[in-house]
Amino acid sequence: MPVGLLEVEGTIEVSQFWPEGRSDADTTKVVVNVAPDAIRFRKNESSPFQPTQIFDNAKVKGRTNTAPIKNGKLTIRLQGIDAPELHYMPSALSPAEKKGLTDAKKLAYHEVTHSYRQFLGATTSKALHDFLSSTGEATLACRVFTHVDAPNEVFDTYGRLVGDIEVTVAGKKVDINHWLVEQGFAYPTFYSSMNDDEIEAFLALTKTARTKKLPVWKNLAKTIPAFNFDLREPKKNETDVLATDKGPVILPKLYRRYTNWSARKKAKITSQNFQKFLGEGSSGKPDTCYEINDFLANGVHSATPRNFAEFVEGGKTIKFQPDGLVFGEAPSTLVGADGKVITGF
C-alpha cells in the first residue's frame, strides 16, 4: 500500500465544466502554479516534502505517448469515481477490425461515431459546475494529491494524473471526489492502484448516498437498456436537455464498453453479441477486476483476478454493484527527455 504522497498546487477554471465548457464531472484540467515547490513529494508521513521537477520534459508511455504537463496544465482523472458520461465517442477500429472491411462499412462506422451521453451526464456535470461557481470566483486555488511511492504510479495509461482535488468552498476545504460520491453525482469506481484507506472512505460515503437514493443510485439499472443513439453530447449552454436528463444508468465503465459494441453492431462491423465482446475486451485485452472483499482481504497480488464479463449475464443482466469491484489499472511508464525510465522523485 503506497505511503508516499505527491501534491500539486494549482488552479481550476470553473468555466471548463459544462454547461460553460465541455468537461464532465470526473475529468478536469488544473493549471500548475509557477513556483519551485508547486509539485512536491514526501516518501512517508515522517519525511518532509521535497520539490520535484521530474515531470518537466517527461512523457507518459501507455496507450498514448504524451507529455503529462501541456501548456502548463495537468489533466486530472478524479480517483475512485466515475460520473455518468457527458460525451463518450466509440473507440477507433483496431487494425484487426479494419482488415478486409469494405469502404461502405468503414463509412457506416464513421456515421455512428458521435459523442454520446448517458442519462444524468448533463445533470451531474452542471451540479459540479454550480457548486464551484457558488464561490463567486472564476478560478479556484486547488490542491491535487495522490498516494504513490514511485513515478510510474502517478499517471493512468492515457497520461492523466490520478488523484483527488481539494478546493475551498464557503470557507471549508472540500475533496471534490468525495463530494461527488456523497451527493450522488458519481459512482465509486475502484482501481487496483488505490490503497485500502482510500477505498474505505468511498465505501462509507457510498453507503449514505445509496440509502438516501440520491441521483445515481435512484437511477441505477439492473439490466442494460437498449442503446440510445439519440442521446448526444449537449452543446455549451444547451441546458434544456436537463428537463429530460433522467433514466436508467449503468456504471460508466460498462457504458463505454456497451457504446463501443453498439456502434460496431449498428455498422455491422461485428457479429458478436455483447457478452462475447465484453469478455474478449479491447484489442484482445479483457478488463481484469477483483471482488472488493477479496481485494481488501488479500491485496492485488493475492486476490483472484476475474474477467469483468463474469459479472454480466447474457449481455444484459448486471450482477454487480458499482462499489463491489476493483478494476485492474492499465500500466503506464514515465520516461525522461532521454527516453530512460524515471524511477524516483
The residue to which cell 488552479 is assigned: 11
Please state which CATH number belongs to domain 5-332.
Answer: 2.40.50.90
190-214 pLDDT, tens digit per residue, is 999 999 999 999 999 999 999 999 9
Residue spans of the chain under pLDDT 50: none
pLDDT score recorded for residue 27: 87
Strand partners, 147: 5
Omega before residue 19 within 30° of 0, cis: yes
Inter-axis angle of helices 252-266 and 103-111, to 10 degrees?
Answer: 140
pLDDT score recorded for residue 285: 87
Q: Is 134 helix (H, G, I), strand (E, B) or coil?
A: coil
CB atoms within 10 A of CB 141: 13
How many helices (H) does the chain have, and how many strands (E)? 9, 20
What is the spatial distance between Cα 172 and Cα 59, in angstroms, rounded to a whole number?
35
Q: Is 257 helix (H, G, I), strand (E, B) or coil?
A: helix
What is the spatial distance between Cα 64 and Cα 66, in angstroms, rounded to a whole number?
6
pLDDT score recorded for residue 231: 98
What is the spatial distance between Cα 3 and Cα 155, in angstroms, rounded to a whole number?
17
226-260 pLDDT, tens digit per residue, is 999 999 999 999 999 999 999 999 999 999 999 99
What is the spatial distance between Cα 15 and Cα 22, in angstroms, rounded to a whole number?
9
Give the CA radius of gyration of the chain: 20
pLDDT score recorded for residue 117: 98
Residue 28: in which H helix or E strand, if any?
A: strand 27-32
User: How do the domains of the chain map onto residue ranges?
Assistant: 5-332
pLDDT score recorded for residue 206: 98
Q: Which of 227, 39, 232, 261 has its CA nearest to residue 121? A: 232
Global pTM reads 0.96
pLDDT score recorded for residue 258: 98
pLDDT score recorded for residue 33: 86
Residue 124 grid coordinates: 451531474
